[in-house]
């Protein structure tokens, strides 16, 4: 009988600890969301994390890619020969507070083929992309520059 009481108390303690951990993770996620919202004024709006992203793995979330079939302007932050390196760079930049995505330059005729481009944002025109690039340059990304992204098959 005593053993059952001890096991029941232990089970209740585990449930309570689990609930506290879950609440702590949600609070941490809320803080990250708030901090991210503060930096988004200079960060691109189109490269936000996917909904349903787990609070336990924010750094392992999917890196956004360029919207299929859409053209526009963006800010190129880096280019890599290998997708894995581009993804790692985009994650590192996102962790620093700038939402970054990755696109395959070979899919866009306005770009030199053979690279994975780390980009930030989608802008309607070159002037807006230039403004965003200037902000990113002054924010520690000296190679940031605007680039045109044509949709696959577009010019």
CATH of the domain at 132: 3.30.70.1070
Confidence at residue 1, expressed as pLDDT on a 0 to 100 scale: 55
Choose between 50 and 1: higher pLDDT. 1
pLDDT at 133 over 70: yes
Please provide the average confidence, as pLDDT, over all residues in the chain. 73
Domain annotation covers residue 50: no
Number of domains forming the structure of the chain: 1
Domain annotation covers residue 9: no
Edge-to-edge order in the sheet of strand 101-104: 101-104, 116-123, 72-80, 145-149
Q: How confident is the model at residue 151 (pLDDT cuts 50, 70, 90)?
A: confident
Q: Which domain holds residue 75?
A: 58-149
- DSSP code, position 58: G
Question: Exposed, middle or buried: residue 145 (CB in 10 Å: 0-12, 13-18, 19+)?
Answer: middle
pLDDT at 90 over 80: yes
Which pLDDT tens digit goes with each residue over 28-86? Answer: 444 444 344 333 334 444 444 444 444 444 445 688 888 878 889 999 999 999 999 99
Domain annotation covers residue 47: no
Domain annotation covers residue 111: yes
Segment (H or E) for 9: helix 2-39
CB neighbours of 39 closer than 8 A, spacing ≥ 6?
A: 97, 98
Find the Cα–Cα–Cα–Cα dihedral 125, 61, 84, 89, rounded to 10°: 60
Confidence at residue 31, expressed as pLDDT on a 0 to 100 scale: 41
């Amino acid at each position: 009988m005593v053993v059952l009481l001890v096991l029941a108390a232990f089970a209740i303690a585990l449930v309570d600890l689990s609930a506290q951990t879950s609440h702590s993770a949600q609070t941490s996620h809320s803080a990250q969301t708030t901090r991210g919202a503060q930096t988004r004024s200079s960060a691109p709006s189109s490269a936000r994390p996917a909904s349903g992203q787990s609070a336990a793995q924010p750094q392992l979330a999917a890196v956004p890619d360029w919207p299929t079939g859409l053209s526009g302007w963006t800010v190129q932050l880096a280019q890599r020969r290998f997708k894995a390196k581009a993804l790692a760079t985009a994650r590192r930049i996102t962790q620093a507070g700038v939402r970054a995505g990755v696109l395959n330059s070979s899919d866009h005729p306005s770009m030199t083929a053979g690279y994975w481009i780390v980009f930030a944002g989608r802008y309607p025109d070159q002037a807006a992309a230039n403004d965003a690039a200037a902000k990113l340059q002054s924010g520690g990304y000296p190679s940031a520059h605007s680039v045109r992204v044509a949709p696959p098959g577009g010019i």
